[in-house]
Amino acid sequence: MKNRTVLSVPAIFVPVILVMGLIAPAQRCYSMTVEQRREYLEKLLKILPPAPSFQEWLDKTGELPPDFDALPRVNGLPDPLTFLDGRPVKTAADWRARRAEIWQLYQKYDIGTFPAKPKLDRVVMLGETPGDGYVIRDVRLEFGPQDKGTMRVQLMIPSGAGPFPVLISPNLQGWSPALLRRSYISAGYAGNDGMDDAAALGALYPNYDFALLPRRAWAVGLVLDYLETVPQVDMQHVGMFGYSRDGKMAAIAGALDERISAVIAGSTGVGGLLPWRLSGERNAGESIESTTRSFPAWFIPRLRFFAGREDRLPVDGNLLAAMIAPRSLLMEYGLNDQVMNPWSMEQVYHSAEKVYKLLGQPDHLDILRVPGFHGSNDEEACLDWLDIQFGRSHRTWTNNFLFPWDFDKWRANTRETLDLTKYPRVNPAAPLPAASVAVWEKRAGEVRKSIRWMLGEEPAMMPPAAGGGRAGRGPAAPMPATQAARRELPSNPGQLAPDVISWVIAQGGTSYGWLAPQAAQTFSRPVSFGYGVRGDLYYPANTPAGAKLPTVIWLHGFSYPLGYMWVYRTDLHPILALVQAGYAVLAYDQSGFGSRMNETAAFYDRYPHWSPMGRMVEDVRSAIDALQKDSVVDPQHVYLFGYSLGGTVGLYTAALDDRVKGVVSISGFTPMRTDTPQVGDGGIARYSHERGLIPRLGFFIGHESQIPYDFDEVVASIAPRPVLVVEPELDRDASPAQVRQAVDRAGKVYTLYGALDKLTLQEPWDYNRLPSATQDEIVKWMSANLH
């Protein structure tokens, strides 16, 4: 067996050409030694972008990463009704103990420790200004050691005897205009970036390490102390509002002080109610890495150790939401909000709802999804909800879920069943039947048949009509004949209202990876194909007239708000990287993402025996239909480049369609027959129960060895065409050792065709992401193997 080099730093890539044979799985360590933790930190610092404040903290404290192997591995959301040691929460008394445990873990790993709330020593009147039907009162609160702590507060009090409900905001004016019209008191305090009296609290309490946002949340307790002295205040109905970073603060404040009876947490992003686990690079959003580097004061430095190891973090946003129970919580976010994730927030709702139900208040938890990007906020709708929660309205709040998937309901509605006796157990480590090409081709036909069954019954689709029609609306428009005409084409064609792609391109900058000068050197035009799918074809600006370019279809991952774009990335977007390498690139939102999120809710009502994964594969094949007729595309050189979910889609498509001439799959799979619940990555239930991507896989939970095919066979079915599998060593969504063995088994089939050099595995010491170093190595591999 040829020795394989496993890289410790992805900037020094050596492609691993697969050889025949099996490699024993890595032995699991149940405790990391001090030396292993120190070595881990050294490697981590090499792959992460520099974070000066983190390095300063490391130099000062000498702290090492935690013993990750000693922490429970939970790749999905941590269960609020399960203690860290695995004991269940069964009663309200159990929940109080679990809540205390969560709070201690939050302080240790995320937000820092808090001093006891001091007595409010005095309230200094700064002035009162009467208005038409209200009065504005400005005060300064004084507290803490030697009364050095101060906090400015502004009240807007409606005329009348009261008492009035209150909404606290982290800025002085708050929602005063809207609140006055609803007969609320507005209580604003200086607790945001523009006016932050909490900034001095760190120096005032040096023995506590509470971070910036938690300090602002802690200060709310002093505002509440003051409100208790105001006769017009109804202390039974006090709400707290915050948006974005202030939304994180509002959620923490709601967990910290139970005098807050309702929280409106607007677009909190990660570190608030959006879980780290369900955002990050793999979900095309903010991550522990980007947040702790870009905003190092928001959370304690220790959190950065968990970059890429979110499955070992004992707390997450769903637990913060649960801590507010049984008090009222509204989670507000934009449909295409780049710092949020609609699917993830619905999972937070379902997780926290278990606690609300346990405590007898399921109607106190709600969501508000509004149109638009980050910054979308509907004050009136929020106040409508608050009126309901405070008993001032008899209206009923409706939570309109975009992703109402339920495996058991699907099974009941479709009446699908499976006779497992017809599916023999398979040894996952057994070599593939590769005695000869004929023997393998017979098995490959069986594999493809099983894949088609697993993906479901694809509905019929009419071919494109001449001149465009409903079924695909025809192939791409011909490329303009002259360079001048091409320069006049829009570089960001409209895709939906709001136009996500145009908006992202307009933002530019390093946050979206749409960087100059590469963006300026790229043209694009719209392409329609398949059953009503719209995409964009990108290509080099200097493409000569009549040129035929090798073409790549970019298949994105779990990018719900932005579709084929991403955010909080300093790395060049793959579209631009591939265009720079001389490829044309077709990009489109996959079904259920970006402009196509609305396809999910009704999918199984429309196609009860199909699957979203099947729809995604159909879309790729329809895209190839269109590309083969496109004037700029070389139809003999169409490739797939998929990350995460896109990597899975790419492999399935290539196995079923030999027009695909090569595949790059990045963090695209883990073998299914060994992906049992005990592994800790979520198992095959991620396809069937979590997202409903392939429901028929759900019949095999607990019987994984009986799944009729696995990814070693999927990869082998693509032979002898080139395949690159990129599997980071720290991928929490996979078992890298099992991926390595699967690709080794597929290598035997490639050997039959004399094409072993066309199957490559790269294993960077990294987690599930696509940084520039990895991307550069992929493009090098493509240049060497796809032409």
The predicted-structure confidence for 585-612, as pLDDT tens digits, reads as follows: 999 999 999 999 999 999 999 999 999 9
Taking alpha carbons only, the member of 673, 218, 593, 674 closest to residue 402 is 593
Task: Retrieve residue 739's tokens.
Answer: 């991926």
According to the model, what pLDDT value does residue 490 have?
Answer: 38
Task: Retrieve residue 219's tokens.
Answer: 């200060």
pLDDT tens-digit series, residues 238-265? 999 999 999 999 999 999 999 999 999 9
According to the model, what pLDDT value does residue 476 have?
Answer: 39
According to the model, what pLDDT value does residue 505 have?
Answer: 81
According to the model, what pLDDT value does residue 6 have?
Answer: 30
pLDDT tens-digit series, residues 731-772? 999 999 999 999 999 999 999 999 999 999 999 999 999 999
Residues 6+ apart with CB under 8 A from 605: none
pLDDT tens-digit series, residues 132-175? 999 999 999 999 998 899 999 999 999 998 999 999 999 999 99
Question: Alpha-carbon torsion 616, 618, 621, 623, what sign?
Answer: negative
Kindly list the distances between the CA atom of residue 534 and the CA atoms of 474, 527, 586, 618, in Å, as whole numbers in the listed order. Answer: 11, 6, 10, 14
Q: Amino acid identity, residue 566? A: W
Phi, psi of 200 (to 5 degrees): -80, -5
According to the model, what pLDDT value does residue 278 have?
Answer: 97
pLDDT band at residue 471, thresholds of 50, 70 and 90?
very low
Q: What is the mean pLDDT of residues 761-787?
A: 96
According to the model, what pLDDT value does residue 77 have?
Answer: 97
Taking alpha carbons only, the member of 769, 770, 762 closest to residue 5 is 762
According to the model, what pLDDT value does residue 10 have?
Answer: 33
Q: Which of 21-30, 31-40, 447-456 has the lowest mean pLDDT?
A: 21-30
According to the model, what pLDDT value does residue 504 have?
Answer: 81
Residue with structure tokens 């499976």? 418
Q: Apex CA 196: angle with CA 192 and CA 202, to 5°?
A: 115
- 708: pLDDT strictly greater than 90: yes
pLDDT tens-digit series, residues 199-239? 999 999 999 999 999 999 999 999 999 999 999 999 999 99
pLDDT band at residue 463, thresholds of 50, 70 and 90?
confident
pLDDT band at residue 30, thresholds of 50, 70 and 90?
low
Alpha helices in 416-547 (DSSP H): 437-455, 483-487, 500-507
Contacts by 409-416, CB closer than 8 A, 24 or more apart? 410/604, 410/608, 410/692, 410/695, 411/695, 411/698, 413/604, 413/608, 414/604, 414/608, 414/609, 416/609, 416/695, 416/696
According to the model, what pLDDT value does residue 516 have?
Answer: 87
Decide: 384 and 393 in contact? Cβ < 8 Å: yes
- 366: pLDDT strictly greater than 90: yes
Give the span between the Cα atoms of 192 and 347, in whole angstroms. Answer: 29
Strand-pairing partners, residue 756, are none
Residue with structure tokens 């009126």? 387
Kindly list the distances between the CA atom of residue 166 and the CA atoms of 64, 158, 163, 367, 386, in Å, as whole numbers in the listed order. Answer: 45, 11, 9, 21, 10
Task: Retrieve residue 393's tokens.
Answer: 């309205």
According to the model, what pLDDT value does residue 156 have?
Answer: 98
Give the span between the Cα atoms of 563 and 645, in whole angstroms. Answer: 12
pLDDT tens-digit series, residues 629-666? 999 999 999 999 999 999 999 999 999 999 999 999 99
Taking alpha carbons only, the member of 572, 314, 682 closest to residue 305 is 314
Residues 6+ apart with CB under 8 A from 265: 242, 247, 248, 250, 251, 254, 272, 273, 329, 330, 331, 332
Q: Amino acid identity, residue 296? A: P
- 23: pLDDT strictly greater than 60: no
Kindly list the distances between the CA atom of residue 325 and the CA atoms of 9, 207, 318, 353, in Å, as whole numbers in the listed order. Answer: 44, 30, 11, 9
Alpha helices in 456-558 (DSSP H): 483-487, 500-507
Give the span between the Cα atoms of 479 and 525, in whole angstroms. Answer: 9
Decide: 128 and 135 in contact? Cβ < 8 Å: yes
Kindly list the distances between the CA atom of residue 466 and the CA atoms of 267, 462, 626, 627, in Å, as whole numbers in the listed order. Answer: 45, 12, 13, 16
Residue with structure tokens 């592994």? 679
pLDDT tens-digit series, residues 374-429? 999 999 999 999 999 999 999 999 999 999 999 999 999 999 999 999 999 999 99
Residue with structure tokens 């309490």? 205
Give the span between the Cα atoms of 273 and 365, in whole angstroms. Answer: 13
Does an H or E element contain 96, and which? helix 92-106
Kindly list the distances between the CA atom of residue 648 and the CA atoms of 416, 608, 703, 714, in Å, as whole numbers in the listed order. Answer: 24, 22, 21, 10
Alpha helices in 528-681 (DSSP H): 574-580, 603-606, 612-627, 645-656
Task: Retrieve residue 271's tokens.
Answer: 């570190």
Decide: 768 and 733 in contact? Cβ < 8 Å: yes
pLDDT tens-digit series, residues 317-346? 999 999 999 999 999 999 999 999 999 999
Task: Retrieve residue 190's tokens.
Answer: 């200086």
Task: Please give the residue that has the higher pLDDT: either 161 or 694.
Answer: 694
Taking alpha carbons only, the member of 781, 479, 528 closest to residue 641 is 781
